[in-house]
Structure 1
Amino acid sequence: MIKTNIFISGVTGKVGKILLEKSFKDESLVLCGASASSSNKIIGKDLGSLFNQQDIGINVSTIQDISPDVDVVIDFSVPESSLEILSLAQERQVAIVLGTTGFSSLQVDQIKEYSESIPLLYAPNTSIGIAMLKQILNKSEAILERPRKINIYEKHHKQKKDSPSGTAIDLRNQLKESFQENDVEITSEREGDSPGEHIVVFSFKDETVELKHKASNRTIFAEGAIKASKWIKEKPNGLYSMQDIYSS
């Protein structure tokens, strides 16, 4: 069995904890380490403590502790930490799956620059459902006449810091390119504990077409990121997306 050695950045986050749990159960993965922010009290403690379980022999570290054995870094942290991770990944020639959101346009340009020297899969949403939605949107240009208006509605839990969501921005950019439509309005809502809901609405003269994706839990993001880590391991340098996985 071919194994993939991974390092989880942002292991104390909502998706990071699920990634950690799934990495224990996936025999094709080898967990080489995991990091949290340098100010987090869990730094230096065994990863087993995140689940109130017995020690597993791997301590939570900072991002500086990525070992030479790592094949892929999976990052679900914050933009500032992600850029540090990217710099280290470039230095050590390690592939990366970047699931962090909230990047500025300047930071996105930096991400693209890093992809010139390492394999980099950037996905504001790592679920298979959003990858399918983006594939449908790719084909909709040839099927639908030019709509009068395109709207995106997105809803997330009230703790989510970035608004609009990275997924909504990604969808808007795709729609602008496909339909040559500059006025794609995003409406954001933050309440409850919703992992994520996105609706794309095409408005025509006498009808509307809605495409919707709703995440029931965050497991889908972890599962998608793990699939991406196995896929990108042997890929050449470049910028990739979740769509590349399902179209290859």
Structure 2
Amino acid sequence: MLKIALSGCNGRMGHVITDIVGQKKDMEIVAGFDINTEKQADFPVYADPFEFKGECDVIIDFSNASSTEHLLAYCEQHHTPIVICTTGHSAEQLQNIRAASAKFPVFRSGNMSIGINLLMDLLRKSASVLGENYDVEIIEKHHNQKLDAPSGTALMLADAVADALPYDAEYVYDRHERREKRPAHEIGISAIRGGTIVGEHSVMFCGRDEIIEIKHTALSREVFAVGAVDAAAFMAGCTQPGMYDMSDVIAAHGN
């Protein structure tokens, strides 16, 4: 039986993950970590991970970027793999995550959807073929409660495109002060926040007289929860320190 500790257990994604794990016969949530310590499911909830004295095989983190370093300290002490699904980390926090991966297994992805991660492969292929002849624009849409903008997923997609372009791309998030024609080597990234949009990402390759648009729409949060649970199952079997992501999970599914 795979034992999972869930950070952010009383949040929206925490509830979805709790429901999905509850339908599995080979895994269970043994503890939750949350600033709201109300017990809302069949496991204890702690404000501080170090209050948990039991054992777990892996931690799923869907909380807040401000909680990450404390979770990393817990994982280092107990040598517990962690699946970091939280986004909005600063450059310093990302550096600390990478440093932690030298000590124990760390999984991090800006988006837990398998579909999004397959989309990244399509974008690399498209960018390598279309090259300098197409302008690249990314539009992402999320609900009005999302804290970070642009989304971690939008940045993942931009990185996938930039890796395959024949030039060093400049990410441009705001053009309202730019009174000039669009430079050729930009990747424009726009964020929309409204209503209850779960998540929508569009990448447009705009050329002369044609537009190629690649789009992913999440219709429920379950797609992210399923990916997180799959990643947790994968990470529980990882004994070597290192930085892992969804490409490792997809490769494991293919074997």
SS of residue matched to 1:121: strand
Residue type matched to 1:71 in 2? D
- 1:136-155 equivalence runs, <5 A: 136-155=122-141
The change in CA–CA distance for 1:26 and 1:67 in structure 2 (over 3 A counts) is farther
Which residue in the other structure is 1:52 paired with? none
Out of 53, 60, 67, the residue aligned to residue 81 of structure 1 is 67
Which residue in the other structure is 2:241 paired with? 237
Residue type matched to 1:226 in 2? V
Q: d(CA) in 1 for partners of 2:141 and 2:53?
A: 38
The change in CA–CA distance for 1:136 and 1:148 in structure 2 (over 3 A counts) is closer
> Can you list the C-alpha shifts for 1:29-71, whole angstroms capped at 9, x where unaligned?
121100112xx2xx1x4333xxxxxxx3x22112223445211
> Can you list the C-alpha shifts for 1:14-43, whole angstroms capped at 9, x where unaligned?
111111122222111121100112xx2xx1
- 1:17-28 equivalence runs, <5 A: 17-28=15-26
Residue type matched to 2:219 in 1? S
How far apart are 1:139 and its partner, in Å? 2.5
2:110 maps to 1:124: yes
Unaligned runs of 5+ in 1: 49-55
Which residue in the other structure is 1:169 paired with? 155
More divergent stretch after superposition (58-67 vs 229-238) = 58-67
The change in CA–CA distance for 1:186 and 1:110 in structure 2 (over 3 A counts) is same
Give the fraction of aligned pairs with identical amino acids, expressed as a percent: 31
SS of residue matched to 1:227: helix
TM-score, normalised relative to structure 2: 0.86
Q: CA RMSD, aligned part only?
A: 1.5
Contact residue 7 and residue 66 of structure 1 kept, 8 A: no
The change in CA–CA distance for 1:61 and 1:151 in structure 2 (over 3 A counts) is same
- 1:216-235 equivalence runs, <5 A: 216-235=219-238
Give the length in aligned residue pairs: 233
Q: d(CA) in 2 for partners of 1:129 and 1:66?
A: 34
2:94 maps to 1:108: yes
- 1:177-192 equivalence runs, <5 A: 177-179=163-165, 180=167, 181-182=169-170, 183-192=186-195
Which residue in the other structure is 1:208 paired with? 211
Q: d(CA) in 2 for partners of 1:67 and 1:239?
A: 26
2:250 maps to 1:246: yes
SS of residue matched to 2:247: helix
